[in-house]
Amino acid sequence: MTSTPASVDPHALSEQLDSGKNVRVIDVRTPGEFDTVHIPGAYNVPLDLLREHRDEFLAHFDESVVLVCRSGQRATDAEGTLREAGLLNVHILEGGMNAWQAAGLNVNRGAERWDLERQVRLVAGSIVLGSVLGSVAAPKLKWLAAGIGGGLSFAALSNTCAMGMLLSKLPYNRGRSCDPETIVAELVAAKTSQTEGK
């Protein structure tokens, strides 16, 4: 039986953070997206890294965890991964960063980069347009456009995106170094400073 993921409203999360409640904000977007804009105090643990090193991170998620992405889908995937491993104190930020920013809440901004969804639309659209135009000279190119259309339809139906996963691995989306050891060290340091502050 699948349960509906627990979620938290952006204003409620902002109040929890302002009041000093023991909550850990984990942003599962790419480092490039995170560097562009993120919630102050959030930790960047990209979804693919979270899946690969889930057990390493679980040992440091003993407080309430709120997962954040652009609109909620990657956070929902991450929530399933963590619940499957036994973490029950996990929530999803309703509407993701889109809702957080729309509510006018505080953010840290860096260099502007395109979010992953926009990159997928550009690449898919360019391939389809190029193959349709190219099919004038090489008629078989129309099948490339059909393949991309089929892939996008499958992505919508399965709520996954192979092109997005591939694009997330490009240097543009990697941004700063984002490895499990560094993230775990940041989590441990934050926990130590919280303990010492009490």
pLDDT at residue 151 in the model: 87
Pick the CATH number of 7-113+177-197 from 3.40.50.720, 1.20.210.10, 3.40.250.10, 2.102.10.10: 3.40.250.10
CA separation (Å) from 118 to 70, 97, 113?
11, 15, 10
Q: Is the pLDDT of residue 198 over 70?
A: no
Domain spans in the chain, listed from the N-terminal domain onward: 7-113+177-197, 116-167
Q: Which of 47, 50, 69, 82 is catalytic?
A: 69
Any idea which residue has 């890294």 for tokens?
A: 49
3-state secondary structure at position 172? helix
pLDDT at residue 174 in the model: 66
For every residue of 46-83, which 3-state class applies, written as one string?
CHHHHHHCHHHHHCCCCCEEEEECCCCHHHHHHHHHHH
Q: For 74-118, what is each residue's pLDDT tens digit? A: 999 999 999 998 888 899 999 999 999 999 999 999 888 777 788
pLDDT at residue 137 in the model: 92
Asked about 161 being catalytic, the answer comes back as no
Q: For 29-86, what is each residue's pLDDT tens digit? A: 988 889 899 999 999 999 988 988 888 888 878 778 999 999 888 999 999 999 998 8
Angle CA 154–155–156, to nearest 5: 90
3-state secondary structure at position 32? helix
Question: Using CA atoms, how far apart are residues 114 and 78, in angstroms rounded to an integer?
Answer: 22
Question: Using CA atoms, how far apart are residues 177 and 67, in angstroms rounded to an integer?
Answer: 20
Which distant-in-sequence residues (6+ apart) come within 8 Å of 129 by Cβ? none
